[in-house]
Structure 1
Amino acid sequence: MTISAPAIILIDPVRQGRPFKAAARDLGFSVVSLYTHDYLASLSGHAEGDDLSLYPADPHEAHRLITAAGVDARAVVPCLEAGVHLTDVLADRLGLPGNDHTLAWARRNKAAMREHAAQAGVRIPEFRLVRSRNDIAAAAHEVGFPVIVKPTLGAGSQGVRVFSTAADLDAQGPSVTHDVYREPVREWLVERYVRGREFAVNFLSAHGEHRLVDIWEYLRPDDADYDFPLWDIVQIGPEHPDFARVETYTRGVLTAFGIRRGPSHTEVKCADDGEFLIEVGARLSGGPAVDLWIAHGGLRPFHDTIACYLGQRPALVEKPVVFPVRFGSAVVHNEQGPGPLVAVHGAEEAARLPGVDSVELGYAPGEHVPATHDNVSIPFSAAVHGPDSDAVLATLARIRSLVRVETRPAAAVDGTDAATAASSHA
């Protein structure tokens, strides 16, 4: 198939695929979509709205397929964490605007990310890279407890585990063998766990100028160590004591990692001894933030992302972003234990609360729900807004007073291994 009209190449347009495709068409382009993993290509309806769908994981093969199809490509745009490496390598081969392609792997692979950060003077936790689960314990003892263990690829905290003590690691080491994209885990990052406040920072960049969109703080129910940050997440403002230093630190991270255009989502921890990079992603936020920006801020993040990768300067970067309200999100975990879902009690009542924009149920009754450790095992979440942070926090507290996840014991899964049932939902 030959695409005659100028095209936007979208990399892995699945979860945010529809709005990206709609924005490309609204801007007058045809849509060519590349899918980098077999799992993404297996999702029902993934290619809906494509003028051309291609399935390469390798940049050389992607370039060959695009050239063979005669695509008049004008921009390459990442739509998911999985595709950020291919995006900039392919853009470079096609002679299109993009971020520094020589650092593309460092923006995708957590070990390469850590190595580059150390070379660039970006503060990071001490770490070790191991390629066998049998070596994790030795690496953890070298780094010192508490430690956090992460697959170097994947996304959404899948397979990430924190071990506060050596006894915790001895009791149950990392057991995940495949990441969220169903790819085998072949290496792990073992790093010192940083205790402190954690933030997600969203920027949009054009021609090397970084415009802050917003900062969200991950709020946990207690001071315990955690491997999955999502619980209550609240947008913060300049009055927050860590706002200025998080913004300044993140600007340095973006420059150090060669991010000159497009959105970015960076996670930073603030400890007593300074700021630490947890992860940088050259992509839009994957949570409720984008929908809230559109609903209450009048932003056009999908159009603006494409504009940046076209080499343009969208209006959003011209002046500070100011929202008329504050945003938040509640993620309710399955804490009862893995098993078939009986019900998410209180979900309908929560959806009717003032200030609740949307609720999302991750499972239907009868489906197996694992203990919540990552983005793909969330039974309930809600996006909210309010006039200020106190109002947002009050709404989140009200949601938690209403919503309860009920499961049956895992043994009740008829003829199905619990881990297999959980994986099938991802």
Structure 2
Amino acid sequence: MEPRDPVILLIDPANTRNGSEYETAIRDLGFRVVSLSTGLLPADATPPLDPDGETSLYADDVDDAVRQVRAAGFDLRAVVPANGSSLHVADQIAARLGLPGNDPALGWARRNKAAMRVRAAQTGVRVPEFRLVHSLGEVAAAAQDIGFPVIVKQTMGTGSYGVSVISDAAALDEAETLGTVDRRGRPVTEWLVERYVRGREYAVNFCSADGEHRLIDIWEYRWPDDRDYDFPLWDIVQIDSAHPDYVRVERFCRQVLDAFGIRQGPGHIEVKCSGDGDDVYLIELAARFSGGPAVPMWTRHSDLRPFHDAVECFLGRRPDIIDGDHGFRAVLGSVVIRNDDAPGTLVAVHGLDELGALPGVADVLAEFRPGDHVPITNHNMCIPVSASVHGPDRATVLRTIAIARETVRLEIAPDPVGRTTVAPGTVAGS
């Protein structure tokens, strides 16, 4: 790479689907890629491949990253974050280099759940009542102070890992099972205890350019009954403007984006509506694209080019995603086949071939093989089977999801411990 070639700094692209997508988009737009690893990824993360002789940097902190970039003399045009764990670092680097990005002073509030709640309270964004605790032994007092049910979360957790609903005082012993390490084995030193909001839950996706926000879509998490839950994935489907919650959810999320300084690029917000009034609650947010199947489905079933347009936003440009017709040609959804019975050894997954052959079904993922131990499905790294679903309308998508649930059966030999009731859509044992 020549020192004055126009380049874009890509933060932590290793081992992420988004990393490779962003690399492709950056090259398509005529820029070279400089990859920067921050040390926030797991120690076994694979450095990005360098097929075109492009540069990879490794920095211990923001100061080191800025020093290396400046010393290299790059014609740097943008800083693009590829990994959710280092979004706040990317914001700081961009600000230090005078490039477009999101408010670096609010980066931690977009990353840490406790700081997120504090910022929300300061700006009038509705959040459930909460307490921050620094040991699991403090959960009981916080829960009793707030009132049951409560939900307990690691402040830096992702994908619902280490999350638990405590329904009443008798269930407080469950807090001791949360553990004191995160999904990467790192020590956890603080937890959020907050009032559990009963109601409809949504994932909302935006893209922003210079502080102007364009809604991409809203997905509803559809739960099969009125049980409280700590992991929301079951059936997920897009809603449209005819849905009774659509307008108030969009309005609320625009308030969230402004309150948390998200001005450039993607924004993903999760909210709950507890009733029929104006009572939307912020549950989670991040300045990134949605995980799961949403983004790949956009590329197949709409005119969106999400990664190209996100790069344009970080360049300070106004991409088509802000002004253009998104051109959705189908309603999108997803089905998640869980193990909600008991942990055990997988004997077989029946119906996978039939699932993949269903009209409107794609991207079938089976995360476990026969002989693997299958835990209870309580976070996004232990989902036995999932699939993308699309159709011409919402009713068709919901019918396809229902057929998918009838088609797939998990055969699991339970561990030699007590068992709970089998939830709809999963079968333990043969």
Q: Secondary structure at the match of 2:369?
A: coil
Alpha-carbon distance change, 178 to 36 in structure 1, aligned in 2, over 3 angstroms: farther
Q: Does residue 48 of the first structure (1) align with residue 49 of the second (2)?
A: yes
Provide the C-alpha distance between the structure 2 equivalents of 1:62 and 1:343, rounded to a whole number of angstroms. Answer: 48
Alpha-carbon distance change, 237 to 18 in structure 1, aligned in 2, over 3 angstroms: same
The Cα of 1:209 is off from its aligned counterpart by: 0.8
Q: Secondary structure at the match of 1:375?
A: coil
- Report matched runs for 1:301-380 at 5 Å: 301-380=306-385
The Cα of 1:375 is off from its aligned counterpart by: 0.9
1:332·1:380 contact (CA, 8 Å) conserved in 2?
Answer: yes
Match of 1:29 in 2: 31
- Report matched runs for 1:88-99 at 5 Å: 88-99=91-102
Q: Secondary structure at the match of 1:106?
A: coil
Match of 2:160 in 1: 157
Match of 2:252 in 1: 249
Match of 1:239 in 2: 242
Match of 2:111 in 1: 108
Alpha-carbon distance change, 207 to 374 in structure 1, aligned in 2, over 3 angstroms: same
Q: Secondary structure at the match of 2:381?
A: helix
Match of 2:120 in 1: 117
- Report matched runs for 1:6-21 at 5 Å: 6-13=6-13, 14-21=16-23
Match of 1:207 in 2: 210
Provide the C-alpha distance between the structure 1 equivalents of 2:85 and 2:343, rounded to a whole number of angstroms. Answer: 28
The Cα of 1:219 is off from its aligned counterpart by: 0.4
Alpha-carbon distance change, 221 to 284 in structure 1, aligned in 2, over 3 angstroms: same
The Cα of 1:149 is off from its aligned counterpart by: 0.6
Provide the C-alpha distance between the structure 2 equivalents of 1:229 and 1:335, rounded to a whole number of angstroms. Answer: 12
The Cα of 1:235 is off from its aligned counterpart by: 0.3
Match of 1:279 in 2: 284
The Cα of 1:37 is off from its aligned counterpart by: 4.4
Question: Could you list the runs of 5+ residues in structure 1 that have no partner in the other structure?
Answer: 413-426
2:128·2:194 contact (CA, 8 Å) conserved in 1?
Answer: yes
1:127 pairs with one of 126, 130, 154: 130
Alpha-carbon distance change, 171 to 133 in structure 1, aligned in 2, over 3 angstroms: closer
Provide the C-alpha distance between the structure 1 equivalents of 2:25 and 2:43, rounded to a whole number of angstroms. Answer: 21
Provide the C-alpha distance between the structure 2 equivalents of 1:3 and 1:221, rounded to a whole number of angstroms. Answer: 57
1:206·1:312 contact (CA, 8 Å) conserved in 2?
Answer: yes
1:326·1:388 contact (CA, 8 Å) conserved in 2?
Answer: yes
Provide the C-alpha distance between the structure 2 equivalents of 1:335 and 1:55, rounded to a whole number of angstroms. Answer: 42
Provide the C-alpha distance between the structure 1 equivalents of 2:87 and 2:4, rounded to a whole number of angstroms. Answer: 26
2:139·2:175 contact (CA, 8 Å) conserved in 1?
Answer: no
Provide the C-alpha distance between the structure 2 equivalents of 1:333 and 1:40, rounded to a whole number of angstroms. Answer: 27
Provide the C-alpha distance between the structure 1 equivalents of 2:34 and 2:186, rounded to a whole number of angstroms. Answer: 24
Match of 1:264 in 2: 267
- CA distances 1:154-182 after superposition (whole Å, capped 9, x unpaired): 31111111111111122453423222344
Alpha-carbon distance change, 109 to 383 in structure 1, aligned in 2, over 3 angstroms: same
The Cα of 1:207 is off from its aligned counterpart by: 1.1
Match of 2:399 in 1: 394
The Cα of 1:29 is off from its aligned counterpart by: 1.8
1:79·1:284 contact (CA, 8 Å) conserved in 2?
Answer: no
Alpha-carbon distance change, 21 to 180 in structure 1, aligned in 2, over 3 angstroms: farther
Match of 1:421 in 2: none
Match of 1:422 in 2: none
The Cα of 1:72 is off from its aligned counterpart by: 3.1
Alpha-carbon distance change, 70 to 299 in structure 1, aligned in 2, over 3 angstroms: same
Alpha-carbon distance change, 47 to 87 in structure 1, aligned in 2, over 3 angstroms: same
- CA distances 1:244-280 after superposition (whole Å, capped 9, x unpaired): 0000110111011111110110001101261100011
Q: Aligned residue pairs: how many?
A: 411
The Cα of 1:316 is off from its aligned counterpart by: 1.4
1:57·1:86 contact (CA, 8 Å) conserved in 2?
Answer: no
Provide the C-alpha distance between the structure 2 equivalents of 1:243 and 1:227, rounded to a whole number of angstroms. Answer: 23
Match of 1:145 in 2: 148
Provide the C-alpha distance between the structure 2 equivalents of 1:57 and 1:270, rounded to a whole number of angstroms. Answer: 41
Tell me the amino acid that sits aligned with residue 168 of structure 2: T
2:182 pairs with one of 169, 179, 185: 179
TM-score (norm 1): 0.91
Match of 1:415 in 2: none
Match of 1:419 in 2: none
**Larger deviation, residues 13-22 vs 197-206:** 13-22
| Same amino acid, percent of matched pairs | 56
The Cα of 1:57 is off from its aligned counterpart by: 5.6
1:385·1:392 contact (CA, 8 Å) conserved in 2?
Answer: yes
Match of 1:420 in 2: none
Question: Could you list the runs of 5+ residues in structure 2 that have no partner in the other structure?
Answer: 418-430
Provide the C-alpha distance between the structure 1 equivalents of 2:156 and 2:60, rounded to a whole number of angstroms. Answer: 14
Q: Secondary structure at the match of 1:203?
A: strand
Which structure has more helix as a fraction of its residues?
1
Provide the C-alpha distance between the structure 2 equivalents of 1:65 and 1:138, rounded to a whole number of angstroms. Answer: 48
- CA distances 1:60-89 after superposition (whole Å, capped 9, x unpaired): 232233334444322111222212111111
Match of 2:169 in 1: 166
Q: Secondary structure at the match of 1:251?
A: helix
Match of 2:80 in 1: 77
